[in-house]
Amino acid sequence: MKQITLVTNAPSRSGLAYFHYLAFRDIYGKGVCIVDNGRSGYGRSLIERLISRARIELRVDRKSQYRSLLKSIGDNPTNSVVIFYGMASLSACEIRELHSKGVSLYVYFSDSPFTLSAANWGDIRKALPLFKCVFTPTNDLVPVYFQNGAKRVVRIPFGYCRYTHLRSQPQVPGPDGNIYYFGTYSPMIEDWLDPLSKFPLIIHGHDWGKALSRSLRLAACRSIALDAFMAKAASGQLVVNFLRTNHGACHSMKTFELPAAGACVLSNRTAEQLHFFPEDSGVGYFDTKDEMLALLRKLLPNPDEIRRRILLRGKWLSGQTYHERVQGMLNEICGC
C-alpha cells in the first residue's frame, strides 16, 4: 500500500486539499496524510500580511513544509505518492529533489495559470515535466498544461464535501428577503454587485473594505466566510454567485458548495455549470446584469418559488461529492 501525502499552502482544516483529504481518508484509509501551512486561518490584517510576507522572504514556510514532507515520506520514497496543490510552499528545485529520490509526484492546480505572476508560472513550468499527472478542474486548461510540458493531464472537477457543505434538509426560506454573496472582494465582482446595492444585500467575505461603493462596504459583514460558516449561512437563502471567467474558470468550488448547502443559487451561465446543474435543476442562470436583476425581481417576493428551486437540487447533487472526485484521482494514481 502506497503512502499518499497531500501538500498545500492552505491553513489547517480548510480548502480543497483538506476536502480531498477527508475523502481519501474514508476511501484509502490510514495510508494518507496532509501537510498544510500549520496556521488556523487566512491572515487579512495588515500585521498578519506583514508577518506572512516576512515568512515568505525568510523561506520559513518552505523550510518547515519541506521538513514535514520528508518526515511523511520516511525511508521508503519509492513507495510514496505526493499530491501538491499548486506548488504549496516549495520550489521547482525542491520538487526535482523529491523526483530524484523516486517519489511519485502529482499536482492539482485549482487556479488558472492566467492568475499567476510570470515568476510563479516560470517556476511551475520547470516542475511540470516532473509530475506523473497534472489534475485540473477545467476542460479548457488541459491543453495549456500539455503545451507547457506536462506529461499527462486529467480533468478532476470541483465538488462538495459531505461533511462540511451538505445540508440534507435545507432551512425554509425566511421572511427577511435578503440576497447573499459569499466571496472575496475584487473590482469585477464589485461592478456586478453594485446594482444589487438597491436590494437587501448581505456580503460575507474578505477585503470588502476596499470597495469603492459605500453601500457595498456597509453590506459587507465583518465575519469571515469560512467553509462551514458559508454552508450554514447559505441554507435556505437566495445566493448570487459569480465566476472568475476572466481567469478561464467556468465553474468554481461554490458551483457545488452552495447547492449542497441548500441555497437557491443564481450564477453565470456557462457550459460547464449547465453540465452539472441544467437549467431545470433549480439553479438560475444569467448572462447579463439585466437578466440577473430580472431573476431577482421574480424571486425575492416569491419564497415558494425559492423553496421549489432549493428542493429541485437533490437529484443533481448525486455523484458530485469529493468522495467521487477523489476516486478518479485514485484510479490515476493506484489503478484502484
User: Domain for residue 171, yes or no?
Assistant: no
| Residues 121, 209 within the same domain | no
Query: What value, to the nearest 5°, has the Cα angle with vertex 258 and ends 200 and 263?
Result: 50
Long-range Cβ pairs for the range 67-70 (8 Å, 24+): 68/35, 69/5, 69/7, 69/35, 69/98
| Residues 129, 45 within the same domain | yes
User: Domain for residue 308, yes or no?
Assistant: yes
Render 236-250 in DSSP notation, one character per residue. T-EEEE---GGGT-S
| Residues 187, 253 within the same domain | yes
Give the integer Cα–Cα distance in Å for 336 and 322: 16
User: Domain for residue 165, yes or no?
Assistant: no
Instruction: Tell me which H or E stretch contains 25.
Output: helix 15-28
In sequence order, which residues have a C-beta less than 8 Å from that of residue 305 and are 6 or more positions away?
298, 299
User: Domain for residue 327, yes or no?
Assistant: yes
pTM of the prediction?
0.92
Exposed, middle or buried: residue 265 (CB in 10 Å: 0-12, 13-18, 19+)? buried
User: Domain for residue 166, yes or no?
Assistant: no
Instruction: Tell me which H or E stretch contains 309.
Output: helix 303-312
Give the CA distances from residue 163 to residues 100, 230, 267, 288, 312, in Å, rounded to whole numbers and listed in that order.
Answer: 37, 13, 24, 34, 21
| pLDDT, one tens digit for every residue, the chain (336 residues) | 899 999 999 989 999 999 999 999 999 998 999 999 887 555 555 555 545 555 554 455 788 899 999 999 999 999 999 999 999 989 999 999 999 999 999 999 998 888 888 889 999 999 999 999 999 999 989 999 999 999 999 999 999 999 999 998 887 766 568 999 999 999 999 999 999 998 999 999 988 999 999 999 999 986 666 788 888 899 999 999 999 877 677 899 999 999 999 999 999 999 999 999 999 899 999 999 999 999 999 999 998 999 999 999 988 999 999 999 999 999 999 876
User: Domain for residue 114, yes or no?
Assistant: yes
In sequence order, which residues have a C-beta less than 8 Å from that of residue 288 and are 6 or more positions away?
none
| Residues 132, 263 within the same domain | no
CB neighbourhood size of 246 (10 A): 11
| Residues 286, 212 within the same domain | yes
pLDDT at 335: 77
User: Domain for residue 88, yes or no?
Assistant: yes
Is the Cα torsion angle 174, 175, 177, 178 positive or negative in sign? negative
Domain that holds residue 24: 3-159+321-334
| Residues 301, 328 within the same domain | no
- CATH number of 189's domain: 3.40.50.2000
Give the integer Cα–Cα distance in Å for 277 and 310: 12
| Residues 145, 287 within the same domain | no
Give the integer Cα–Cα distance in Å for 250 and 335: 29
| Residues 299, 330 within the same domain | no
Residue 89 contacts residue 61 (beta carbons within 8 Å): yes
User: Domain for residue 174, yes or no?
Assistant: no
C-alpha cell at 146: 500539455
Is the Cα torsion angle 59, 91, 33, 321 positive or negative in sign? positive
| Residues 254, 313 within the same domain | yes
Number of domains observed in the structure of the chain: 2
DSSP class of residue 6 equals E
| Residues 118, 230 within the same domain | no
Is the Cα torsion angle 280, 282, 284, 285 positive or negative in sign? negative
Give the integer Cα–Cα distance in Å for 87 and 126: 11
| Residues 101, 238 within the same domain | no
| Residues 37, 140 within the same domain | yes
